[in-house]
């Protein structure tokens, strides 16, 4: 049986991509084969199509760090033919053939059963972006964030995949004092519809006075972009607050000092959704399932294997809004 896959290769020292017809012999090893229904496009997926993007180190490769679908072959008795599953993170689409193909072969230790109340399409509306957002929120709640106090929560990169998902999940959990930080004035109405209480430009956050501490403005921060904005926000968090960090679209540098930590007791929490233990993933996905009423308000763009390349530029140029899903076997 031959099926479609989007391949990335290096030719003449350049990244090339093309749709190819392959067989399961071309897929990486694993003990389950999944007929892929949907994948998604994340910032990390965009980097996979760039030379020296830091994502793919082994070519050729089928990218796509997210996928969902139905098991068609299984060598693990815990998973049966016809079972619907989700897979995100681990080595998928990086060093192991990923979701941009009509079939995927994976290690069963990387897959999660589809939770009740969640459709396959829903799961890719969420994908790595939403899973990361959910982990960010969980980490801040463990650091003391609670809806009863209605803390001021800032979300950077608020119009992107992780940002919009974070806002939606926060609203689902009962948080109302959410401040969206974005330079996209044109998306104010969309952000308001998701439930933010205020919208602030990064220009109003980033200061050039080099003060080690500034006025306290936010109790908690979900940072999706890194760089100068993250550095400035650290100096503006209330005493005993916390900031989760999960993205680097604005750079990997974090220029800070020790004072926010020793004078205000600020907690800086790193979020990694790639290697998050599989045994704990279903709990997070069940929480996400409970938030779908709010998540469905996030703008969604649906593309196919043949058209997803056209969407990468908007992500690369920071023009992307919301989430992008890829219909794989529904085209």
Q: What is the CATH number of the domain that holds 8?
A: 3.90.180.10
The reply to whether 309 and 194 lie within a common domain is no
The reply to whether 132 and 262 lie within a common domain is yes
Q: What is the pLDDT of residue 331?
A: 54
| Domain end (from 254, 270, 286) | 270
The reply to whether 245 and 164 lie within a common domain is yes
Any domain includes 290: no
- 3-state SS class at 93: coil
Contacting residues for 153 by C-beta, under 8 A, at least 6 apart: 140, 145, 170, 175, 177, 178, 179, 218, 219, 220, 221, 222
Q: State residue 86 phi and psi, 5-degree precision.
A: -120, 145
The reply to whether 54 and 154 lie within a common domain is no
Q: What is the pLDDT of residue 314?
A: 79
Q: What is the pLDDT of residue 151?
A: 98
The reply to whether 153 and 257 lie within a common domain is yes
Q: State residue 55 phi and psi, 5-degree precision.
A: -105, -55
In terms of Cα–Cα distance, which of 45, 226, 17, 53 is closest to 124?
45
- Any idea what the CATH number is for the domain that residue 253 is in? 3.40.50.720
Any domain includes 320: yes
Contact 298, 125 (CB under 8 A): yes
User: Whole-angstrom Cα distance, residue 121 to residue 38?
Assistant: 6
The reply to whether 101 and 164 lie within a common domain is no
| Domain end (from 255, 270, 285) | 270
pLDDT along the chain (331 residues), means of 10: 92 88 96 97 90 84 97 96 97 96 97 94 96 98 97 96 96 97 92 96 88 94 94 96 91 89 97 94 95 95 92 81 90 54
Any domain includes 160: yes
Q: Which domain holds residue 243?
A: 128-270
Query: At CA 288, angle to CA 299 and CA 116, rounded to 5?
Result: 110
CA distances from 208 to 45, 214, 295, 316 (A): 33, 12, 36, 27
Contact 37, 120 (CB under 8 A): yes
The reply to whether 62 and 14 lie within a common domain is yes
278-290 helix and 120-142 helix, angle to the nearest 10 degrees: 100
Beta bridge partners of 198: 179
Contacting residues for 93 by C-beta, under 8 A, at least 6 apart: 45, 48, 61, 62, 63, 64, 65, 66, 99, 100
**What is the model's pTM?**
0.94
Any domain includes 123: no
Any domain includes 255: yes
Any domain includes 279: no
Counting DSSP H helices and E strands in the chain, the numbers are 9, 15
Q: State residue 52 phi and psi, 5-degree precision.
A: 60, 30
The reply to whether 245 and 306 lie within a common domain is no
The reply to whether 157 and 85 lie within a common domain is no
Any domain includes 280: no
The reply to whether 104 and 134 lie within a common domain is no
Contact 38, 74 (CB under 8 A): no
The reply to whether 37 and 85 lie within a common domain is yes
Any domain includes 216: yes
- Helix residue ranges, H only, 179-254: 188-194, 227-234
The reply to whether 87 and 136 lie within a common domain is no
Contacting residues for 218 by C-beta, under 8 A, at least 6 apart: 152, 153, 154, 179, 233, 236, 237, 238, 241
Domain count, the chain: 2
Q: What is the pLDDT of residue 14?
A: 84
User: Whole-angstrom Cα distance, residue 106 to residue 188?
Assistant: 41
CA-based radius of gyration for the chain: 20
């Amino acid at each position: 049986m031959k099926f479609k896959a989007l391949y990335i290769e290096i030719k003449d020292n350049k990244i090339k991509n093309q749709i190819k017809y392959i067989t399961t012999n071309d897929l990486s090893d694993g003990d389950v084969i999944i007929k892929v229904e949907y994948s998604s496009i994340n910032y990390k997926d965009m980097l996979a199509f760039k030379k020296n993007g830091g994502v793919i180190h082994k070519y050729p490769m089928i990218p796509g760090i997210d996928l969902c679908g139905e098991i068609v072959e299984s060598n693990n008795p815990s998973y049966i033919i016809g079972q619907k599953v989700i897979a995100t993170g681990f080595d998928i689409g990086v060093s192991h053939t990923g979701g941009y193909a009509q079939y995927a072969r994976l290690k069963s230790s990387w897959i999660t059963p589809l939770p009740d109340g969640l459709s396959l399409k829903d799961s890719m509306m969420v994908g790595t972006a939403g899973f990361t957002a959910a982990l960010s929120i969980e980490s801040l709640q463990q650091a003391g964030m609670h809806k009863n106090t209605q803390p001021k929560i800032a979300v950077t990169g608020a119009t992107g995949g992780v940002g919009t998902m974070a806002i939606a999940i926060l609203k689902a959990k009962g948080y109302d004092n959410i401040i969206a930080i974005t330079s996209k004035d044109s998306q104010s109405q969309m952000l308001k519809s998701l439930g933010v209480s205020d919208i602030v430009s990064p220009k109003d956050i980033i200061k050039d006075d080099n003060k080690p501490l500034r006025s306290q403005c936010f109790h908690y921060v979900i940072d999706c972009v890194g760089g100068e904005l993250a550095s400035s926000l650290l100096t503006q968090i209330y005493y005993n607050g916390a900031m989760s960090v999960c993205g680097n679209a604005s750079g990997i540098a974090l220029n800070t000092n020790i004072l926010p930590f020793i004078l205000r007791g600020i907690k800086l929490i790193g979020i990694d959704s790639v290697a998050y233990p599989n045994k704990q993933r279903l709990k997070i996905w069940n929480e996400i399932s409970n938030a779908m009423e709010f998540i469905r308000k996030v703008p969604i763009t649906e593309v196919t294997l043949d058209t997803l390349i056209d969407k990468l530029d908007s992500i690369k140029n920071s023009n992307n809004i919301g989430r992008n899903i890829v219909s794989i076997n529904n085209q």
